[in-house]
Structure 1
């Protein structure tokens, strides 16, 4: 059996990621992905026997890259407000480029169970939550269970992006105008989380 070409493999995964996470075609078939990659379906099946194998690989790689970036920000030696700013930048960049990634994750978890997500490293999160608790004790942020701080941070950023098609229609905003609203979110969320 000939060796698989890594360039072709990357092309397949990039096409799948674009269709699923950028364009929101959550039920894209292997034929759809093959077409987007500019190949026939049998060539795609040479690399990935099933859609589930391909999707799992694409999702795991995407989550690994994002987790590494978030972990680095959480473990950096920057002051806490700067860490939060970095986390927001990383998350908003990811969500802007791949707005359907979280919707896909929830959809697939409900369909396939929790096997889609590998174990998250606890060290960076535990360390960050300890810093959250210290900031609360210092009076810099409102006291609550530190887990709520992290949930609030990501929820306040992701929900408007996930719901953007509905909000654009509801508020009769163009994609560009809604993009301006989203650009304001970072400062707004920052002020909500900190006592500014």
Structure 2
């Protein structure tokens, strides 16, 4: 009889892989360690995921499927631009603190395999900027914010939120901070980033 994949086992594997990838990164993670943590043998792990890359992609998709709908909901709700910036920043930073491997993985995958990200854009809940663009255009026309394109504003939000996680070792070295204080720095950025961006577009 052919083996069938069990959802509980698959869930255990993804949870174990997330923990190992988070602790060791993609390069440092070992399939044997993931199998041990999941409470299965390596052969069983390879039956579910033939390679570490495929397992990493599955962990990424699982995490991204939780984050993307949250961000999309914020972009498309009826709140003000100011509240959107605050909510987006707070949600993103909270999520990445829990899944710190994600930003580097996204950059790695974009460079290595652009089609992988294109596949994600087809999934339900992938962030859609159309309503955000209309809202920005209307706020600019009504004199509520300084002239800026929605695309440039969104890139500013992403850049200020993502870079500190991508450059964690550099930032820790430059600021002479340890891991605990780095986490506090990132928590503080929830208000720092949103205030910085809001003040940059607000008409005084």
Under TM normalisation by the shorter chain, which class is it?
A: 0.7 to 0.9
CA contact (8 A) 2:132 2:150 kept: no
Task: Sort the Cα spacing of 1:159 and 1:42 in 2 relative to 1 into closer, same or farther, 3 A.
Answer: same
CA contact (8 A) 1:135 1:141 kept: yes
Quick check: 131-140 or 94-103, which moved more?
Answer: 131-140
2:25 is matched with: 25
Give unmatched runs, 5+ long, in structure 1.
none
2:109 is the counterpart of 1:105: no
Task: Sort the Cα spacing of 1:87 and 1:58 in 2 relative to 1 into closer, same or farther, 3 A.
Answer: same
Distance 1:178 1:57 in 2: 28
Which residue, 139, 159, 164 being the options, matches 1:160? 164
Give unmatched runs, 5+ long, in structure 2.
none
1:60 is matched with: 61
Task: Sort the Cα spacing of 1:93 and 1:5 in 2 relative to 1 into closer, same or farther, 3 A.
Answer: same
SS of 1:4's equivalent? Answer: coil
Distance 2:143 2:160 in 1: 22
Q: Describe the superposition over 1:122-179 as per-residue Cα deviations: whole angstroms up to 9, x where unpaired.
A: 7731111221222233334332222110111121112112222222222221222222
> What aligned pairs does 1:28-177 form with structure 2 within 5 A after superposition?
28-111=29-112, 113-117=113-117, 118-120=119-121, 124-177=128-181
SS of 1:124's equivalent? Answer: coil
Q: 1:23 Cα shift?
A: 2.4
TM-score (norm 1): 0.86
The RMSD of aligned alpha carbons is 2.2
Task: Sort the Cα spacing of 1:129 and 1:24 in 2 relative to 1 into closer, same or farther, 3 A.
Answer: farther
